[in-house]
Amino acid sequence: MLTDAECKKAVCPPGKKQARFADSGGMYLQVSPAGSKRWFLKYRIEGKEKQLAFGNYPDVTLAAARKARDAAKLQKAEGHDPVQLRKVEKLKATTPAANTFNATALEWYALKLESWSSHYAIREKRNLEKDLFPFLGDRNIAAIEAIELLAVIRRVEERGALDVAHRVLTTAGQVWRYAVATARAPRDVTPDIRGALKPHHGKHFAAITDPKKLGELIRVIRGYQGGPIVRAALQLAPILFQRPGELRMAAWAEFDLEGALWTIPAARMKRSVDGKKNGDPHLVPLPTQAVEILRELHPITGHSALCFYGERSHDRAISDNTLRAALLTLGYGPDVQSVHGFRATARTLLAEELGVDPLVIEAQLAHAVKDANGRAYNRTQYLKHRTTMMQQWADYLDKLASGADVIQFKAV
């Protein structure tokens, strides 16, 4: 074993790159030709030799080095690699010092923002600023217990916003998992309270699925006495059953009336940011009835880029509320039939009345259904089947509107 006096006198012999002076337990003092002295511990993990540095002598005294050696050997005895533990501590040291819920959440938000749609980003920010920051923002996230978070979520439930309460918990869970990943918190506490929330059963968009009642609605729509732009959009909504925003923002450049095809750019679809930037466009085959409606509309709005522009400006599409209000004037409120509900109407009757393959229907709805191998199918698949289906659907709506007996079509 070394003495402090021996450590002071230790030198590296001339011609050598370094000299080692052993103490005990695998620790030694390494001396360089320039005279610097450094403590090391030599040990083995799974047969591989490793070294752990304790610092320079005399800054780290002999006694301090032995204390560090004993601590490292205890770590090894407990099954840990002292070098790996040292690396983890260094990583923790590089983590920003602000460990409050507020600081952690804002850092997580900034990291994810680029990959979110603007709508999703606004919703996440609202969840944080309205329902989490006022009550947990200044707290160290590692010290927040599940019962405290539950009390915050209960506030949301008390105002009757059960769906929001579940979304706020989801947001909190993402923040906590980021906190765990960045060594700010030992674990995610949000799963502990998930079962304590009041159940929320989401409301579906109102949709008529009874063939006779749908026929009545189609007749009423065809008798709409409002402006030709709204009338055309209202007629196309049940025929094409795309999302209301995709329909009302439609541009003439997207339509190939000769080829009977509507190509909706990926940027206008309901997708992730990456899907909007790099995804394929959504193809909507146009039945002859839809082509006829669009040809009649073109002399009216064809001078504009938009098919369905509003009254105040030819450069702005009709608003979200326009078709909803038109249905209401016809006696169909949002609790009976919504514009978005035409998607559910088509999905139900195409399968139950016309016997269409659900995969073909889902492809037309632009839903990312996965196949048996777990891969999301390409939305351009089934185009031939979808073309047949869309014409059958439009013909079916004509028969319902005329009150004729509905003929079952061959499934596609």
Q: Average pLDDT in the 114-132 region? A: 88
Name the active-site residue from 167, 243, 282, 386.
243
pLDDT of residue 408: 47
Query: 101-194 — its CATH code?
Result: 1.10.150.130
Q: State yes or no: is 377 an active-site residue.
A: yes
Please give the biggest Cα pair distance in the chain: 110
Task: Give the rounded percent of residues in the chain with a pLDDT score beyond 70.
Answer: 91
CATH 3.30.160.390 maps onto the chain at: 4-94
Name the active-site residue from 282, 340, 347, 385.
340
pLDDT of residue 102: 92
Q: Which of 31-35, 47-51, 121-125, 171-175 has the lowest mean pLDDT?
A: 47-51
Name the active-site residue from 231, 282, 343, 347.
343
Instruction: Assess contact for 170 and 164: CB atoms under 8 A.
Output: no
CATH architecture observed for domain 4-94: 2-Layer Sandwich (3.30)
Identify which has the larger pLDDT, 57 or 278.
57
pLDDT of residue 39: 93
Name the active-site residue from 159, 204, 277, 316.
277
Q: Taking phi first (over 0 means left), then psi (-120 to 50 degrees means alpha), and beta for anything else, what does residue 130 get?
A: alpha
Instruction: Assess contact for 320 and 314: CB atoms under 8 A.
Output: no
Q: State yes or no: is 384 an active-site residue.
A: no
Whether this model's pTM surpasses 0.85: no
Structure token digits, residue 348: 């139900």
Pairing, β 37-45 against β 48-57: antiparallel
pLDDT of residue 10: 93
CATH 1.10.443.10 maps onto the chain at: 211-402
Confidence band, pLDDT 50/70/90 cuts, at residue 256 = very high
pLDDT of residue 176: 96
DSSP code per residue over 84-104: HHHHHHHHHHHS-S--BHHHH
CATH 1.10.150.130 maps onto the chain at: 101-194
Structure-token match 């402006």, residue found: 227
Name the active-site residue from 73, 80, 367, 399.
367
What's the pLDDT tens digit per position in 201-239?
655 678 999 999 999 999 999 999 999 999 999 999 999
Q: State yes or no: is 343 an active-site residue.
A: yes
Q: Using the CB atoms, write b or e for 98-113: b if 16+ within 10 Å.
A: ebbbbbbbbbbbeeee
pLDDT of residue 323: 93
Query: 211-402 — its CATH code?
Result: 1.10.443.10
By residue count, the chain amounts to 412
- Closest by CA position to 168, among listed 179, 157, 180, 177: 157
Name the active-site residue from 120, 270, 377, 399.
377
d(CA 35, CA 240): 84
Q: State yes or no: is 340 an active-site residue.
A: yes
d(CA 289, CA 392): 11
